[in-house]
Amino acid sequence: MAANYDAQPILKVENMKQYFKISSKFTVKAVDDVSFEIYPGETYGLVGESGSGKTTIGRGIIRLYDPTAGKITFNGIDISGKLTGEARNELRTKMQMIF
């Protein structure tokens, strides 16, 4: 089945950043300005070298991490900001990472 690019994307990640403050003088920029879209019927693979941020991106999308910056839209709903416990649980039943 081919992807339907006339439809709205199921997942849209815009300018996602994930930084980890290690100390007052050192911050790790694990993910810096990543954007992509996944459409209905499409299979998407995130590929990169070890340590390139693939898992960090996934954890940010499913909200195991709160992204430092950027916008994440899932099924037309902005899930970038603070989520209620109910919204977080609902999101986790609809998304999962596969290693």
Tens-digit pLDDT profile for residues 33-67? 999 999 999 999 999 999 999 999 999 998 889 99
Output the pTM of the full model.
0.83
| Model confidence band, residue 2 (pLDDT cutoffs 50, 70, 90) | low
Cα separation, 55 vs 61, in Å, equals: 10
Q: How far is CA 48 from CA 5, 45, 96, in A?
A: 25, 10, 19
For all residues of the chain together, what is the average pLDDT?
89
For the chain, the domains span: 11-94
Q: Which of 65, 60, 82 is nearest to 14 (CA)?
A: 60
pLDDT bin (cut points 50, 70, 90) of residue 94 is confident
CB count, 10 Å around CB of 56? 20
Distance CA 64, CA 60 (A): 6
Number of other CB atoms surrounding residue 24 within 10 Å: 6
Q: Which CATH superfamily is domain 11-94 in?
A: P-loop containing nucleotide triphosphate hydrolases (3.40.50.300)
